[in-house]
Amino acid sequence: MQDIKLLGLDADGVEKEYSLADFQGKKVVLYFYPKDNTSGCTQEACDFRDNINRLTSYAVVIGVSPDSIKSHKSFKEKQSLNFILLSDSEHKLAESFAVWKEKSMYGRKYMGIERSTFILDENGNIEKEWRKVKVKGHVDEVISYL
């Protein structure tokens, strides 16, 4: 598993440091999203939240974005999120999964997260991946796979 350590908020909103190695022996749904409190990211997070009981019998759910812990805390409280959020402000984890990409909006180029989801097996290996995720119906795809 990746030995990158990131600050995050657990399911109860408590701040702590995580490494994917902490989840050795468990499957992990690791999803990368661009930004807290934006429409697509909020919908995706709420879909994971609303289906958490269907997911946690198979895997731990972890959301990752470059947003700060303060932003995550607000997002988590506002949306009543019930899974781990990690702050990857230096995009180390995003780069290790090759989801930190050049993007373009209105002709402007910038670096950001390509919305992606990975299923990691109990040894931390990528078992399944979805890149350039479309939010609508995605959580159902993940559940169907699991």
Share of the chain above pLDDT 90, in %: 82
Measured distance CA(119)–CA(106) in Å, rounded: 32
pLDDT digits (tens, 9 = 90+) for 17-53: 999 889 999 999 999 999 999 999 999 999 999 999 9
Q: Which domains does the chain have, with CATH numbers?
A: 5-145 (3.40.30.10)
pLDDT digits (tens, 9 = 90+) for 59-75: 999 999 999 999 999 99
List 28's β-bridge partners, or say none: 60, 120
Active-site residue identified among 6, 41, 55, 113: 41
Q: Which two tokens stand for residue 99?
A: 């989801």
pTM for this prediction: 0.93
pLDDT of residue 2: 54
Q: How far is CA 108 from the centre of its chain?
A: 25
Cβ atoms of residues 21 and 60 within 8 Å: no
- Taking 60 as the threshold, does the pLDDT of residue 1 lie above it? no
pLDDT of residue 110: 87
- Whether 46 sits among the annotated catalytic residues: the reply is no
Nearest to 11 by CA among 41, 68, 52, 58: 52
